């Protein structure tokens, strides 16, 4: 099997600004078709035309792990305030401190990061080594059967079912880590206003109107229980190939 990744960015004052990304695990015969699809996606992204597109094609040599997809629910909120109230209370139920939750919101509403922030769920300490880059969840693919089942479930609820599939794939790998208690995600796409919170406890909860339409904010944060071997955690999330079933 092969890992395919696409990353498109804008270059501004020597700084790379992420505009879109995609990735998956595929058979050799699928590489050409999927690479074309990724390139098209990079060049036609609503966040703008990129200055740089990186396509990575890598043969997977290690064993691919298999994990369960989180169950999906949609929670209908009508304003960002209502969404935040709901989210804050669900995260607090998991034992995440007020400080840690507030930090996650400030990261999501602050400067754009390419990856996710890692937050100590009690002390609110930022744990990832590179705070600009964050942690990226990579080497993931959803199994075809599960994909079809999820598409059926969400097709009436979203204009972009593919986005849901990709987000559930990320969230399921993240939630499989024993020390990660929860994740929060707001899309950085200005017009995609549904986000999610996820955890082993309550699954993947899609939250509508998590932000106002047209807002370019977004990001991801993972809440972790310490002590934790950060290097090992990052290696698993970024490098270990996983199929979500």
Point out which residues bind ligand PML (CB under 6 A).
158, 163-164, 166-167, 185, 187, 189, 192, 194-196, 206
Q: Residue ranges of the alpha helices (H) in the chain?
A: 31-43, 80-93, 98-109, 144-154, 161-175, 230-239
Give the one entry of ligand PML, Mg ion, none that residue 219 binds, where binding means its C-beta sits below a cut-off of 5 to 8 angstroms depending on kind. Mg ion
Least separation in angstroms between residue 184's CB and Mg ion is 11
Least separation in angstroms between residue 202's CB and ligand PML is 14
Site string for Mg ion, 175-214 (x = CB under 5 A): ----------------------------------------
Between CA 4 and CA 57 the distance in angstroms is: 5
Determine contact, residues 96/121, Cβ cutoff 8 Å: yes
Q: Which residues contact 207 (CB under 8 A, 6 or more apart)?
A: 75, 77, 83, 86, 87, 194, 195, 196, 197
Determine contact, residues 244/142, Cβ cutoff 8 Å: yes
Give the one entry of Mg ion, ligand PML, none that residue 167 binds, where binding means its C-beta sits below a cut-off of 5 to 8 angstroms depending on kind. ligand PML
Number of residues that bind Mg ion (CB under 5 A): 1
What residue number has its CB nearest to ligand PML? Answer: 187
Least separation in angstroms between residue 14's CB and ligand PML is 26
Among 50, 115, 195, 219, binds Mg ion (CB under 5 A): 219
In the complex with ligand PML, which residue's Cβ is closer, 139 or 206? 206
Give the one entry of ligand PML, Mg ion, none that residue 65 binds, where binding means its C-beta sits below a cut-off of 5 to 8 angstroms depending on kind. none
Q: SS3 of 32, please? A: helix
Least separation in angstroms between residue 160's CB and ligand PML is 7
| DSSP symbols for 141-170 | EE-HHHHHHHHHHHTTT-S-HHHHHHHHHH
Residue with tokens 């700084």: 15
Least separation in angstroms between residue 234's CB and ligand PML is 21
Give me the residues paired with residue 156 across strands.
none
What residue number has its CB nearest to Mg ion? Answer: 219
Least separation in angstroms between residue 241's CB and ligand PML is 20
The C-alpha angle 97, 195, 124, rounded to 5 degrees, equals: 20
In the complex with ligand PML, which residue's Cβ is closer, 107 or 120? 107
134 lies in the site for Mg ion, by CB under 5 A: no
Between CA 30 and CA 37 the distance in angstroms is: 11
């Amino acid at each position: 099997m092969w890992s395919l990744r696409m990353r498109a960015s804008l270059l501004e004052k020597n700084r790379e600004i992420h505009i879109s990304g995609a990735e998956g695990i595929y058979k050799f015969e699928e590489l050409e078709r999927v690479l074309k699809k990724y390139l098209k996606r990079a060049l036609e992204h609503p966040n703008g035309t990129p200055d740089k597109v990186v396509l990575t094609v890598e043969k997977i040599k290690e064993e691919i792990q298999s994990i369960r997809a989180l169950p999906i629910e949609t929670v209908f909120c009508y304003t960002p305030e209502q969404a935040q109230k709901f989210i804050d209370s669900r995260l607090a139920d998991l034992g995440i401190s007020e400080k840690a939750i507030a930090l996650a919101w400030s990261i999501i509403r602050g400067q754009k990061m390419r990856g996710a922030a890692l937050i100590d769920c009690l002390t609110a300490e930022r744990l990832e080594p590179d705070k600009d880059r964050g942690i990226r969840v990579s080497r993931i693919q959803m199994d075809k059967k599960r994909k079809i089942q999820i598409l059926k479930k969400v097709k009436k609820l979203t204009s972009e079912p593919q986005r849901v599939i990709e987000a559930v794939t990320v969230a399921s790998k993240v939630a499989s880590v024993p020390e990660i208690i929860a994740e929060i995600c707001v899309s950085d796409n200005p017009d995609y206003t549904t986000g999610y919170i996820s955890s082993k406890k309550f699954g993947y909860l899609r939250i509508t109107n998590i932000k106002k339409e047209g807002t370019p904010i977004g990001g991801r944060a993972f809440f972790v229980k310490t002590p934790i071997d950060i290097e090992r955690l990052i290696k698993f999330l970024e490098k270990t190939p996983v199929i979500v079933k």
